[in-house]
Amino acid sequence: MTHPPEYRRMTSARDTTERRLRDLERRLREAANKTVNSPAAHRGDSAWRKSDEAAWQAALAELRYRNRNEIGALAAKLERQQAAIRAWLAKPARHSAARN
């Protein structure tokens, strides 16, 4: 089944927003990793201590707090896009022609 251009445009925009939100979270986790001075090579390593985890969690929380406006804006945009797609799919007249 081929989807109409309007649906493909909406899902493409939603996918882009999801990717931006995931990339932001990844960058924040990487930045938190750099702030922890540990003998462990990475988080989850056997040398990773409870104090390292606590420092990492605190650093990540601080970074998320500093970026809360961007995170909130992307999350709200993503929710609006998903709601628009659900509403579009709920109206059979808009996409019934594509099914025939």
Q: What is the pLDDT of residues 45-69, one digit of tens each?
A: 778 888 888 999 999 999 999 999 9
Residue-level pLDDT at 36 = 85
Do 39 and 47 meet the contact criterion of CB atoms below 8 Å apart? yes
Residue-level pLDDT at 94 = 56
Do 98 and 66 meet the contact criterion of CB atoms below 8 Å apart? no
Alpha-helical regions (H) of the chain: 5-35, 50-66, 68-90, 92-99
Residue-level pLDDT at 51 = 87
Domain residue extents for the chain: 5-99
CA distance 57 to 28: 11
Alpha-helical regions (H) of 36-67: 50-66
| Low-confidence residues of the chain: pLDDT under 70 | 1, 41, 93-100
Residue-level pLDDT at 100 = 47
